Amino acid sequence: MKIAGLIPSSLIDYPEKIAAVVFTKGCNFRCPYCHNPELVNTLDNVDFLEEKDFFGFLNKRFGLLDGVVVTGGEPTLYYKELPAFLRQIKEMGFLVKLDTNGSHPEVIRFLYSEHLVDFIAMDIKASPEGYLKTAGYPGSLEPIMESISLIAQGPILYEFRTTVVPGLTSNKEMEGLCRMIRGAQTYVIQNFRGTRTLSPTFSSCRSFSLQELKEFQDIAREYVKNVTLRP
């Protein structure tokens, strides 16, 4: 596993839990508004954290942390290394939350079968028509839809979530993407915050107002009962 970053303790990344956050390197999407551009390209130079050092850190945090969030980048790109990595975390007595873009449902299915994940969060980037523009993803949406179905019908806690971005997210777009997750248990609408982004164009982009976010929330509630805002 290429561990490109570590947050020792977080109160916001794993719902109702105190968790360390591990960032993997590399992503198969190219979201122009991505706030972790240094994690996208696997070829970029970065100082990696050795697995043994991470597990040494984790061993000292037993009793202080509830779990570990594995995010990215896109963790499921490490389909060979990820199961063993998560298994060791579980064997140490920690919960595991996985963040994913849903492009590799076969990996999610295997992790479920091995009981290696306790909570999963999947980013719904856009409506079917908007994935190329919003995520830079030219591929088939079949894997995305398969992951949505797998997660919604799966055995563990989950949330679907969308980062809403001015210029990319509209009321029409919100309605289209919410149709994809109709009947889901939980949907989170996250407001974009302009910082350092993959495309410099978005670094100075404004955030949506609370009123605009509530309009998105009203649309989403036509499809999902529990819709939360993260302004």
Spatial neighbors of 169 by CB under 8 A, at least 6 apart, are 126, 134, 162, 208, 216
Domains of the chain: residue spans and CATH: 3-229 (3.20.20.70)
DSSP per position, 167-217: TT--HHHHHHHHHHTTT-SEEEEEEP--SS-SSGGGTTPPPPPHHHHHHHH
Of 96, 116, 125, the closest CA to residue 29 belongs to: 125
Pairing mode, strands 157-164 and 186-191 = parallel
Q: How many CB atoms lie within 10 A of CB 8?
A: 12
Please report the pLDDT score of residue 42 as a whole number: 67
Helices (DSSP H) in the chain: which residue ranges?
51-60, 82-91, 105-113, 131-135, 142-152, 171-180, 210-220
Give the residue carrying structure tokens 């971005």: 165
Please report the pLDDT score of residue 194 as a whole number: 84
Query: 80 near 118, Cβ under 8 Å?
Result: no
Please report the pLDDT score of residue 43 as a whole number: 62
Pairing mode, strands 226-230 and 67-71 = unpaired
Please report the pLDDT score of residue 139 as a whole number: 85
Question: Alpha-carbon distance 79 to 87, whole Å?
Answer: 13
Please report the pLDDT score of residue 33 as a whole number: 96
What Cα–Cα distance (Å) separates residue 200 from each residue in 25, 35, 163? 20, 11, 17
Question: Alpha-carbon distance 10 to 137, whole Å?
Answer: 30
Residues of the chain with pLDDT under 50: none
- The greatest distance separating any two alpha carbons of the chain, rounded to the nearest whole angstrom, comes to 49
Spatial neighbors of 215 by CB under 8 A, at least 6 apart, are 171
**For residue 52, with 0-12 CB atoms within 10 Å meaning exposed, 13-18 middle and 19 or more buried, which class applies?**
exposed
Q: What are the strands of the beta sheet with 95-100, ordered from one edge?
A: 3-10, 19-24, 67-71, 95-100, 119-123, 157-164, 186-191, 226-230
pTM of the shown model = 0.95
SS3 45: coil
SS3 19: strand
